Amino acid sequence: MTFGRTGLRVATVLACAAALQGCSAARGATCTAVPGTVVWKTGAGNLGQYDLPSVNDGQCSVDRSRPDYVVPVITGSDVSFRLLRNTANTYTYEGNRYRGSSTCYRNQMNPRDPNTGTNSMLNPGSRYTFTFQTVVTLHGNTLNEGLGPGRGIAVDLPGIVWQTHSYGEGPTNGNGPCDMLLISNTQADRWTGRYPDSPPGGKPIWSFKSCSDSDNAVGRRYFSPDTLHDGELDTWQIDIAAQLDGRSGGSVVVRRNGRVVYDAAAGVCDSHAYHGCWWNFGPYMYYWENSNEPPGWNDAGITVQFKDMTLYKL
C-alpha cells in the first residue's frame, strides 16, 4: 500500500491510537505503551461519572428552552462539546459599557471520582497518564482580533480544551487553571506572546503550557508549527508526575500523534493547592466573557470532540 504525505500522517495517527497499550509504532512515529489502572473513562458507566460546571461560570445552559442549550453529547466512549456565542451579556472595556459578550463560553465536564462522589483528583506524588483523541471543527470562527479604543474588543480564539486545577482554593491565591492544552492562535494573546502572521487575526494552532511556565516568555511552551484544520484528528498522551508548582519531583510529558512536544519538570497545580488537584476537559473560551463577536463570526460556533478520554493511574 502506498501513502502520500497526508495518508502517511493519518496512518501514523491511527497506528499510535491503536497501539497505546503495547505499542508497535508506525514509521516516523514514537508511541508509548500505557500500563496502570483505568480510573476514569468517557462513557464507562461507574468510571465515567461527571458533573457540569455551574451556569454562573459560563457553562452553557442545561435548559432545553434556552438558545444556549448545548450540553456535552456522549456517544459510546466519545464526547462532543459545542460552543455558541450567546450575546446576552454586557461588559466594560476602557471605561465604556458594551452589549455583546457571551453567557455561553464554557462547555465542559468535570470528571467525578466514583469512590468519593466529588472531582477526580490528581494526588501529589502519584503518576498518571491521559490518552485521548481530538477532532476540532471551527467553522471559520478562528480570529483573535481587537477592535481598538472606544469600540470594544472582538475575540474568538484562543481557548482551553483540557486543564488541571487546584482544589479548594480561594479567589486570592491563584484560583485558576494550571496545565493547559489550548487551541491557540498566531495572533498575539496573553497566553502565547506570539504575533500575527497574516492580519487581520491569525491562524489556529495547538499549544500547551504548565503553571510552571512564565506568562511573560514563550520559553519551553509548545506551539505547533502546523495550523489546525476542521476535522483534523490528533492523538494525545499526557504523562504526569503530579506535584505542586515549585516543589521537586513533578513532570509533564505531552505526546501529539506519537511525538513528544512538551517535556519538562512542571507542576500539575499551583503552590496554593492545599487540598489536591483536579482536572476537566471540553472547550473554555475565556475571552468570550468580555468581548464582542469577531468580524465574520457565524452561528455554527465551534465543536471539539474527544474520542476515548481515559485516565490511568500508574
Measuring CA to CA, how many Å separate 232 from each of 6, 63, 90, 135, 256? 11, 31, 34, 6, 13
pLDDT in tens, 194-205: 655 555 667 899
The whole-angstrom separation of Cα 278 and Cα 188 is 29
Task: Note whether 86 and 12 are same-domain residues.
Answer: no
Residue 276: CATH number of its domain: 2.60.120.200
Task: Note whether 26 and 174 are same-domain residues.
Answer: no
Residue 182's nearest CA partner among 259, 257, 254, 102 is 254
Task: Note whether 6 and 66 are same-domain residues.
Answer: no
Task: Note whether 269 and 297 are same-domain residues.
Answer: yes
pLDDT in tens, 37-84: 999 999 999 999 999 988 888 898 888 888 778 899 999 999 999 998
| Domain membership of residue 261 as a residue range | 42-313
Among 55-64, 250-259, 263-272, top mean pLDDT goes to: 250-259
Task: Note whether 160 and 272 are same-domain residues.
Answer: yes
Task: Note whether 147 and 174 are same-domain residues.
Answer: yes
The whole-angstrom separation of Cα 257 and Cα 226 is 13
pLDDT higher for 131 or 91?
131
| pLDDT reported for residue 191 | 54
Task: Note whether 88 and 13 are same-domain residues.
Answer: no
DSSP β-bridge partners for residue 277? 122, 166
Q: What is the dihedral of CA 264, 32, 206, 262, to 10 degrees?
A: 10
| pLDDT reported for residue 198 | 55
Task: Note whether 146 and 16 are same-domain residues.
Answer: no
- Report the number of distinct structural domains present in the chain: 2
Task: Note whether 97 and 24 are same-domain residues.
Answer: no
pLDDT(259) > 50: yes
Q: Which of the four pLDDT bands, split at 50, 70 and 90, describes residue 295?
A: confident
| pLDDT reported for residue 175 | 54
Task: Note whether 28 and 53 are same-domain residues.
Answer: no
pLDDT(168) > 70: no
Task: Note whether 138 and 74 are same-domain residues.
Answer: yes
pLDDT(4) > 70: no
Task: Note whether 3 and 74 are same-domain residues.
Answer: no
| pLDDT reported for residue 246 | 79
